Amino acid sequence: MTSFSPRWLSARRSSYRPSRLLLASIALLFLAGCASQAPMDESGRQAGQWERQQADVEAFDTWTMVGKAGLRTPQENISANLDWNQHPHYFRMLISGPFGGGRNVLEGREGRFSLSNSDGRFEAETPEALMEEQLGWALPVSAMPDWVRGLPGEHNSYQLETDEFGFPSHLSQDGWEIDYRDWERVEDLWLPRRMVMNYEDVRITLVVNQWQATGE
């Protein structure tokens, strides 16, 4: 007896093949898309972003930063608000709150530094010496314009470690140990949002509430 298939059955069977091929192609495309997507953390950082933006971060030298700094030593644990305006050859830092002892304005221009408060206006050869003399504590102001952007200072040796995304995670320079704990995207740049700086028994935690590019 000669076997045969009805025409409708043959047509139905032949229609399965392209359908299965189409589904397989879609699945492969989906898997390829998942595989090509770079790993991402909760804030949206991806591998390779820091390397691509580093030149732009170095050129980002005129800015305003608003944040809060916490100072911890064996004797005290206090904090202050910072409003910091930075230019290539000038900076102005408003320090207010408990460890500022009120309102202090620290300024530097062309190697001259002053600090003004309710007691008057004072000068010294370095901003660190000026803060130590007048406030009893000091931020590493000379290096911080680089450190707060995630960059090592230009003039001294350093050691830099990066995380799984290639972003700075730990910087050792000038006796300070800086840990970068959190980042935020500011327009097209990723910048530090939280960092911890340690020097011997001094610990300073800086939390940035706002970054803003400013004109010359």
Tens-place pLDDT, residues 97-118: 765 567 899 999 988 999 999 9
Tens-place pLDDT, residues 109-165: 988 999 999 999 999 999 999 999 988 888 899 999 999 999 999 888 999 999 999
Residue whose structure tokens are 């820091």: 50
**Lowest mean pLDDT: which of 30-34, 64-68, 120-124, 209-213?**
30-34
Burial of 55 by CB count in 10 Å (0-12 exposed, 13-18 middle, 19+ buried)? exposed
Structure tokens at 78: 């206090």
- State the Cα–Cα distance between residues 150 and 169, nearest whole angstrom: 9
**Lowest mean pLDDT: which of 5-9, 148-152, 201-205?**
5-9
pTM value is 0.79
Average pLDDT of span 54-61: 95
